[in-house]
Amino acid sequence: MPELRRDPIVGRWVIISTERAHRPTDFRQVLPPMPAQPLCPLCPGNEAQTPTEILAYRSSGGAPNTPGWSVRVVPNKFPALQIEGELGREGIGFYDRMNGVGAHEVIIESPDHKASLASLSEKHLEDVFWAYRDRILDLRKDSRLRYVLIFKNHGAAAGATLEHTHSQLIALPIVPTNVLNEIAGCQEHYKEKERCIYCDIIRQEVADRSRVVGENAEFLSVAPFAPRFPFEVWVLPKKHISYFEESQKFQFEALARIFSDTLRRLDRALGSPPFNFILHTSPLHEKTGEFYHWHIEVMPKLAQVAGFEWGTGFYINPIPPEDAAAFLRDAEI
């Protein structure tokens, strides 16, 4: 029989539709490659094809905007928001508006055009996380900005327009509604129980283990109890910490290990599926230390969001998270 499950953080319901149940192997992808590009602007040697770099890691030195980098951050050539200007908040009758002030950046994760996050060494993946941290800390100095969203679209079906592995950063002058809803759920739980809801989730998942995908001393990789999508995975720090950018070196080392393990399991089990991941962290200038817990959500693009989902806010997932977690645990990597 189908089952309704409620996400305890935001109160969102999902339907685990066993009537539509697939075997885990049915989700394995055979996808056409992305269209060939005559000139990849993200490859070494083509630095002049991007805006001037904001940040780059070069182990042997070298001039900015030249080859020799391992991770490089540049402004998006077609930005959703721009860093220059004033917010210009105003009311137009009953409506509100402001100028599109913010930042939109591209984190080029490797100089290798054919690399993926799953194929990077753990040390290289750690450097990608350091780049995220460095950019958040820099943008936090700008009092106009209130939230930094870091996300990745991997594969054409997940929204990627360039094959070269990269993620994106958008800094916003407002806190997004999804983030506000998540924070409100965490705050309500803390008011009632004086505990972080994510810490409670971690304790229960470690005790239960049926939805655990991977684990090390600092992090847990888990299929959430009420997943919106098949093979959705969350990566959570075991120790309570609200701001991603305040993580320490040993935590980034451990994050690189478990994130690499998680992505390689998804690749092995599902045939390198397209996916999105989103870094959930606290707003830049709000005090959420007691009740909010940063984490990363990975969502393979294996099912379509259609009219029912848009109309209800419910999601239909044809595979229970316990089955998905078991399948990922069993993947040989």
Percent of the chain exceeding pLDDT 90 equals 77
Please state, in angstroms and rounded to a whole number, the distance separating the CA atoms of residues 209 and 224.
12
CA gap 297, 278 in Å, rounded = 5
Residue 33: pLDDT band by 50, 70, 90 thresholds? low
What residue segments make up the domains of the chain, in order of their start? 39-329
Query: How far is residue 88's CA from residue 96's CA, in Å, rounded to a whole number?
Result: 11
Per-residue pLDDT tens for 207-260?
Answer: 999 999 999 999 999 999 999 999 999 999 999 999 999 999 999 999 999 999
Query: What class is the 39-329 domain?
Result: alpha beta
Structure tokens at 105: 């950046």
Q: How far apart are CA 114 and CA 111, in angstroms?
A: 9
Per-residue pLDDT averaged across 47-51, rounded? 95
d(CA 333, CA 331) in angstroms, rounded, equals 6
Average pLDDT of every residue of the chain = 92
Give pLDDT, residue 187. 96
Residue 143 to residue 20: CA distance in whole angstroms: 49
pLDDT (tens digit, 9 = 90+) per residue, 248-274?
999 999 999 999 999 999 999 999 999
CA dist 324 and 333 (Å) reads 16
Q: What is the pLDDT of residue 85?
A: 87
Residue 21 has pLDDT above 70, yes or no: no
Count other C-beta atoms under 10 Å from residue 53's C-beta: 18
Tens of pLDDT along 62-74? 899 999 999 999 9
Catalytic residues: 166
Residue with tokens 């990077």: 120
Query: Where does the pLDDT of residue 332 fall: very low under 50, low under 70, confident under 90, or very high at 90 and above?
Result: confident
pLDDT tens-place string over residues 74-126:
999 999 998 888 888 889 898 888 889 999 999 999 999 999 999 999 999 99
For residues 60 and 183, which has the higher predicted lDDT (pLDDT)? 183
Of residues 99 and 190, the one with the higher pLDDT is 190
The answer to whether residue 30 scores a pLDDT higher than 70 is: no
Given a cut of 70, whether residue 24 has pLDDT beyond it is no
Asked if pLDDT for residue 17 goes beyond 70, the answer is yes
- How far from chain centre, in Å, is Cα 256? 14
Position 281 scores a pLDDT of 97
